[in-house]
Chain A
Amino acid sequence: MEYSTNNQIKYLAKPILMLVAVLALLAFTVIFGIGKIKTLNTKIQAAKVLKGQLTQKIEILQNVQSKVEEGVGLAGIALPSKGSILFGLSQIKNKVNSLGLVIENLKTTNTVKEENGVERSSISFDITGDDTNLYLFLDSFKKILPLSNIGKLSITGEGGVSMATITINFYSSEAVQKIPSVSGLVSGLTPGELDILNSLSSYEVPEFGIPTVSEFPVRDDLFN
């Protein structure tokens, strides 16, 4: 009589079960291990990206530090958050006095909203004086701060004396309220922006109450 099939299965069962258990353990180790490593790798890649962003941000901020310290004041004077009309009046008064002109019928208008948060206030007045000085006065608005321009002008003159009715526009804009999160990207000053800042430095600032920037924006996300 031969060794029965049942006994053969029983004889083989133990090594087969051991092999299956080891293989299952091996598969689990590989799948679990690769999963964990993949997760870690994803975190490492994200941390590397963040590191790159932060390094770049620090570099940008350190590079622009001296320029923006000066620029923020100048840009704030060029386009004040409020009160541009007061600075404008000061500039007009100083110009009129220095050029020996006579000003009458001075009126200010309500603020009008332009695009992108920019607001316009206007000052209208009649002005009389020597031709040369009146034209110097009108030309001066191209190079004064706060930024201004001539809205409309009616001029007449005779015998070296001119009289004009002028509307001068002055502009203001609310300061930005938020800055990006700590890891949020910022970009430095572009050559175009540096050119504007450099050109603004040659403008005439108002004599009274040079505005200081007190409305610094706060961080968008306090926890990041």
Chain B
Amino acid sequence: MDKKINLIPEELTVPSSVVKLTKLISKFSIVAVISLIVTSLVMISFFVYFSLNLKNLDSSNTSLKANVVSLEKTEQQLILTKDKLSKILLVKSLESADINFESYKEFRTIASEFPDLLLGESEINAKGMEISVSSNNTSSFIGFLKRIGEFNKFPNASISSLNFSPDKGLLLNLTYGI
């Protein structure tokens, strides 16, 4: 049987509890060193991987930017076209007498159904129109008045004047939309 022989004087002998603690700390240190090495390797790997990834993306973006620059003329044309088209839409939405002129043509078609009716001066603008009609034939004139009741292109219509003269007959001024 082995026997421990301690030749060191008792006051110089390290207590066993301290020796155990030292061994435990040493073991922790070894684990920490291994962790440090592993962590460092992992970090370096990630760093290299991410750096390469970024480098690839950067070079890919540089080539894409060169592509965009080579398409600069198309881009200029696209921007110009889109800008002009948005303004063309605006121009098309601006008030004009065009729509009222279309309505006037319909009015004129109705008036042409009455051969005795004379269409006088007509003013057409963006807001509406003012039309003067005259006729020597009273029955034709009344027929016309009934017929234009169907002409509902404007939210409001009014008779601005109704006159009679022996040579021109009945003279009616109509106002639409104004």
Contacts and interface: CB of A to CB of B under 8 A. Distances in A.
A193 B121 contact: no
Contacts of B26: 15
B67 interface: yes
Interface in B32-62: 32-33, 35-36, 39-40, 42-43, 46-47, 50-51, 53-54, 57-58, 60-61
A100 interface: no
Given A37-B50, A58-B67, A176 B29 contact: no
Contacts of A210: none
Contact of B91 (A26, A34, A147): A147
Contacts of A37: 43, 46-47, 50
Say whether chain A's binding surface is mostly helix, strand, loop, or mixed. Answer: helix
Nearest to B18: A8
Interface stretch (B5-13, B136-144, B145-153, B169-177): B5-13
A182 B68 contact: yes
Contacts of B118: 158
B80 A116 contact: no
A149 interface: yes
B78 A61 contact: yes
B106 interface: no
A19 B28 contact: yes
Contacts of A68: 74, 77-78, 81
B64 A55 contact: yes
A154 B43 contact: no
A93 interface: no
Q: What band does the interface of chain A fall in when counting residues whose beta carbon is under 8 Å from B?
A: 35 or more
Interface string A51-79: 10011011011101100110110011011
Interface in A1-54: 1-4, 7-8, 11-12, 15-16, 18-19, 22-23, 25-26, 29-30, 33-34, 36-37, 40-41, 43-44, 47-48, 50-51, 54
A11 B77 CA distance: 82
Contacts of A60: 78
Given A1-B10, A11-B18, A138-B101, A149 B82 contact: no
B21 to A, nearest CB: 6
Contact of A47 (B15, B61, B88, B123): B61
Interface of B: 10-15, 18, 21-22, 25-26, 28-29, 32-33, 35-36, 39-40, 42-43, 46-47, 50-51, 53-54, 57-58, 60-61, 64-65, 67-69, 71-92, 94, 96-98, 101, 104-105, 118-126
